[in-house]
Amino acid sequence: MCGVVGVVQKDTVNQTLYDALLVLQHRGQDAAGMVISDGDRMHLRKDNGLVSHVFEERHMVRLPGIMGIGHVRYPTAGSSSSAEAQPMYVSSPYGLSLAHNGNLTNAEEMRKFLRDEAKRHLNTDSDSEILLNVLAHELQETGHKKAEPETVFEAISRVQSRCRGAYAAVAMIVGGGIVGFRDPRGIRPLLLGSRRGALSTEYMIASENVAFDTLGFEVVRDVAPGEAVYITRDGELHSQVCCSDFEHTPCIFEHVYLARNDAVLDGVSTYQTRLRLGEKLADRYLDYSNKHGVEADVVIPVPETSNANALAFASKIGLPYRDGFVRNRYVGRTFIMPGQDVRQRSVRRKLNVIKSEFRDKRVLLVEDSIVRGTTTRQIIQQVRAAGAKEVSMLVASPPVCYPNVYGIDMPSKEELVANGRTIDEIKEFIRADHLIYQSFDDLIDSARVDNPQIKNFECSIFTGEYHSEDVDEEYLLELSNRRKDSKKNKRDSELRDLNNLVQLQFS
C-alpha cells in the first residue's frame, strides 16, 4: 500500500503535490518523494520519512515546473532503504519517472527479461523499478520520437501483457505529460480529478479522492481496470482501455483498513461500508451474547479506522459509545511500520488509555482487523491495567489467515495470528474474555451495496484464493522468507551498519 499522485496545471505544481501527499500520508510513512518537470529537466527530491520532514522550504524552491508526480511509500518488496524511495527515474527514452502502488507477482520473470533481453540495469530490489524499466523498454520499442498519446497507450498495452499482479501507477514523460494506469483487475485504486483553472482545466491523478477534495479538484471518475489516462503538459486529456482481458476485482482491505473514511473508491464509500460493517457485527454480537449470556457496559473503538464500525455497532445494540484511547497523531500507523520491534515500541507511544472509561466496566472493544495479534494483546493488557472487569474483542472483518501479494506487506503466514488457530485459540493468545469476528459474506455485502456492478473483490488475505497464476506454494514460501520479522530486522540492522560505516569513512 502506497499513495501516488500526478498533477498537470498552469503554474508551479510543487505546492499542489506537497499538499496532496500530506493528505495521502496515511497510505505510507516510510518515505516520500516528488519529481517535477520544467519542460527540459526533471527535478527530484525524495528520502525516508514523513512528507513534512522530507520537504523543507529549501527543497521546494528547487522544484520548478508545471507538471509532476509524487509518492508516499510503505515498504512492500525490498527494504526500507532510502534508495527505494520513489518516484524512480530513467533517462531513456525521453526522460521517464514513475511512482507505483502495488506489487508485481512475476517480478523475477520481469527482472530476468530486463537483464537478458532488454539489456536494462536495475539498481534496487524494488518491483517499482522493474515496472518503470518495462515501461521504458516498451516506449523505446515503439520507435516513435515523441510521446504522443497513441505511442503511450501502445506501450502500456504491452506493459499490461507482460506485468502481472497489482499496479496503480503514475508516470511522467519529459516534454510529454503525465500518464496514470491500472492493472487489468483494478486491484489498487486510482482516480482522475479535474479543476477549472483561470485559462484551462487542470488535472490530478491520485490513489484516493481525498487528495482532490482538499485541493479543490472534482472527481471525474475512477481509472478503469486496464485503462490508461494521459494528460499532456498542455492540459489535453486522453484515455484508452489498453487491455482486452480484464475483470474488476478491487481490494476489499481498502475499505476495512487502508483508505481514509472520506474515500470513495470504485463507487464504494469507505465510511458507509464501515458503518454497515459495524451494524452487521452488532447482529453477530447480539446472537452470541444471547447464547453465552454476555453482558457489557460500554463500546470503545481502537482508534481510528474502527471508529465508524464502533459507532454503528453501539447504536444498534443500545450501549454507550465512548472514546477510551487518546491517539498520538505523531506516531505512525503501527500495522505499516517495518519490523515487529518498531511496532511494539510504538503501541504504548501511540495509544494512551482514559482510565475512567475502563475502570470497573465490562468493555466491548471494536477493532477493524487483527493481523499479528501482538498489538491487540498489548492493547488488551493496557485496558485490563486501567481496571476493566471484562474485555471482549469485536472485529469488523473476518480472520486474516493468508499473506497479501498485491501490495500490502502483511507478515509471513506463520506470523498471522489467525493462521492455523481456532477462534478460541486466538482469544487465548490476545487474552480477551470473548472474541467475535465478522462473517465473510457480511463483509462483501457491506461493500457491494454502493456498487452492485462489482461482482468480486480481491479477498485473498481472508480466503487464500489468488487470481495470479504466479502465486503458488513456492512463491508464497519465498515471500514468507522475505517478510519474516527476523529477516527484516537483520536486513535493516545490516543497512544501518553499512550507513554508519560510510559516514565514518567520509567524516
Phi then psi for residue 70, to 5 deg, are -140, 165
Q: How far apart are the first and last CA of the chain?
A: 37
Residues pairing with 69 in the sheet = 6, 35
Going by C-alpha positions, the residue among 458, 460, 442 that lies closest to residue 401 is 460
Instruction: Tell how far CA 333 is from the center of its chain.
Output: 12
H or E stretch covering 351: strand 351-353
Is residue 2 annotated as part of the catalytic site, yes or no?
A: yes
Strands 201-206 and 3-8: antiparallel
Tell me if the bond preceding 452 is cis, omega within 30° of 0: no
Catalytic residue, from 2, 163, 242, 251: name it: 2
Length of the chain: 507
Could you tell me where the DSSP H helices lie in 449-484? Answer: 460-463, 473-483
If you search the block for the grid coordinates 454507550, which residue do you land on? 320
Neighbours of 246 (CB within 10 A): 18
C-alpha cell at position 408: 500490502
Phi then psi for residue 310, to 5 deg, are -70, -35
How buried is 199 (Cβ within 10 angstroms: 0-12 exposed, 13-18 middle, 19+ buried)? exposed
Contact (Cβ atoms closer than 8 angstroms) between residue 501 and residue 431: no
Phi then psi for residue 211, to 5 deg, are -70, -35
As a whole number of angstroms, the distance between CA 94 and CA 87 comes to: 16
Neighbours of 271 (CB within 10 A): 16
Phi then psi for residue 402, to 5 deg, are -135, 150
C-alpha cell at position 98: 514513475
As a whole number of angstroms, the distance between CA 310 and CA 260 comes to: 16
Going by C-alpha positions, the residue among 68, 24, 69, 74 that lies closest to residue 49 is 74
Catalogue the E-assigned strands of 114-217: 165-173, 177-182, 191-196, 201-206
As a whole number of angstroms, the distance between CA 137 and CA 114 comes to: 8
Q: Which positions ≥6 away from 194 have C-beta within 8 Å?
A: 201, 202, 203, 204, 217, 218, 220
User: Would you please indicate which residues are annotated as catalytic (active-site) residues?
Assistant: 2
